[in-house]
Amino acid sequence: MNLTIEGLFFVERTKTAVPAGAPTPSQLLNAFHPIGERATRFLDSRSFQCSVPKGKFLLRKGQVCPYIFMVRHGLVRGFVADGKNEITTWIATDHELVSSSSFFDQSPALENIQALEDLTLIGLHYSDLEAAYSRYPELNTAARLVLQQAYQQAEERSYLARLGKASSRFAYFQEKRPELVNRVPLKFIASYLGMTLETLSRLRTSISRAYADSFEKKI
């Protein structure tokens, strides 16, 4: 496995057993489709907890991602580099799945994955998930439903990118991901929405002024 000072280094260095009471892969899948006790025991016995410090990398472009993760605590983004610019392609937070398209065909990753806050993750290895699919058929149904949700989220990101007005993109982001608006640093939101930081700052200021004016008219 090709480890660097960042990327998968932190995963391998901080692996521990999943603490009692922590969310598990089986709980996630069971929320989509019931799975049996044997499948539950198998998944939970193979999962682990790990952590990545704020600003460090969970995965670097070019590495093969051998794990799929569920965020226990924290904030994480995917991004690609275009010269000196970094283009944020997705953002995930507590209880959401995180991985790379690299995971599904075990090919080199095209994106970087970076922790925006101190990150605690629950992970499962590719080979363990494949073994679980073979042994426990109900997991295939649960995983299909998870992938359907992931596809819908990808479609929403595609729709967002096609909105012509910066104000429309920000409004859509506020509607779909309100929990991220005041949590994610503005420069990453701006990158994700395909606008400059200055444009995003102006939009936020104009919205705040409009809200204040509306509030004053009511009193």
Average pLDDT in the 136-144 region? Answer: 92
Q: Output the six-digit token pair for 208.
A: 């705040």
Query: Which amino acid appears at position 134 of this protein?
Result: S
152 and 169 share one domain = no
pLDDT tens, position by position, 26-80: 888 889 999 999 999 999 999 999 999 999 999 999 999 999 999 999 999 999 9
* 67 SS3 class: strand
pLDDT beyond 90 at 187? yes
The contacts found for 165-171 with CB under 8 angstroms, 24 or more apart, are 166/193, 166/194, 166/195, 166/199, 166/200, 166/203, 167/203, 169/193, 169/194, 169/195, 170/195, 170/200, 170/203, 170/204
- Which of 124, 104, 125, 100 is closest to 114 using CA atoms? 100
122 and 209 share one domain = no
127 and 185 share one domain = no
The confidence band for 23, taking pLDDT boundaries of 50, 70 and 90, is: confident
**Domains: count for the chain:** 2
56 and 133 share one domain = yes
124 and 186 share one domain = no
94 and 131 share one domain = yes
The answer as to whether 51 is a domain residue is yes
Average pLDDT in the 177-196 region? Answer: 93
The confidence band for 5, taking pLDDT boundaries of 50, 70 and 90, is: very low
Averaged pLDDT score across all residues of the chain? 88
pLDDT at 161: 81
CATH number at residue 23: 2.60.120.10
101 and 205 share one domain = no
112 and 197 share one domain = no
126 and 175 share one domain = no
Structural domain boundaries, residue 124: 8-162
Report percent pLDDT > 70 for the chain: 92
pLDDT at 147: 87
Give yes or no for a contact between 98 and 76, defined as CB atoms under 8 angstroms apart: yes
128 and 168 share one domain = no
pLDDT at 150: 85
The answer as to whether 1 is a domain residue is no
Report percent pLDDT > 90 for the chain: 63
pLDDT tens, position by position, 114-127: 999 999 999 999 99
At which of 162, 177, 194 does a domain end?
A: 162
CA distance 66 to 164: 37
61 and 106 share one domain = yes
- Which of 112, 136, 133, 111 is closest to 124 using CA atoms? 133
